[in-house]
Chain A
């Protein structure tokens, strides 16, 4: 039993640590990944959504300026920094 302790002490860092690392590497490899095409598509969609939102903000501002009784349903999740009543 006394001889076993140093062997375990040597084996634990030599085998245990790479095991731990490889375990997480495999887990990471198995995680959902997207392909290059998916990535390009997502990039385009994200940029498109952002541009559309910008345009819609402008349109809402114009409409609100022309019709004072109309209030745009501004999303609560993205607080915008522009004032709806502002007119250029």
Chain B
């Protein structure tokens, strides 16, 4: 992989105008409708020229989101979590590994204990 998944991108594929709101939604995981409603509300109540200037500045500076950045929706969700809280995402991955370890230990235990039972039965036959 070449492009970073923790950067802000313009989401042209889901854009209404320049893709800034869709990009924010993709970055944070907030629904795109709420981002747009929030932007429009902010423009109405006081921030009129500033929101538009900020919108243009962001649209001018940020890069477009590369195609195929995520393999699956699961992947996209995971990276959203990484962007908002990398520590929690790392902890999640670690807990996944621990879970795998525990389940593997269960299987190992099943086989080793059964073999020892078998050995006991062979001993009793002698």
Chain A interface, number of residues (Cβ within 8 angstroms): 29
Q: Which residues of A contact B100 (CB under 8 A)?
A: 49, 52-53, 56
Q: Decide if the interface of chain B is mainly helix, strand, loop or mixed.
A: helix
> Would you call B6 and A39 a contact (CB within 8 A)?
yes
Chain B interface, number of residues (Cβ within 8 angstroms): 26
> Would you call A42 and B110 a contact (CB within 8 A)?
no
**CB proximity to A under 8 Å, residues B70-117:** 78, 82, 86-87, 89-90, 93, 96-97, 99-100, 102-104, 106-107, 110, 114
Please list the residues of chain B having a beta carbon within 8 angstroms of any beta carbon in chain A: 1, 4-6, 46-47, 50, 54, 78, 82, 86-87, 89-90, 93, 96-97, 99-100, 102-104, 106-107, 110, 114
Please list the residues of chain A having a beta carbon within 8 angstroms of any beta carbon in chain B: 13, 17-18, 21, 32-34, 36, 38-40, 42-43, 45-46, 49-50, 52-53, 56, 59-60, 63, 67, 70, 72-73, 75, 77
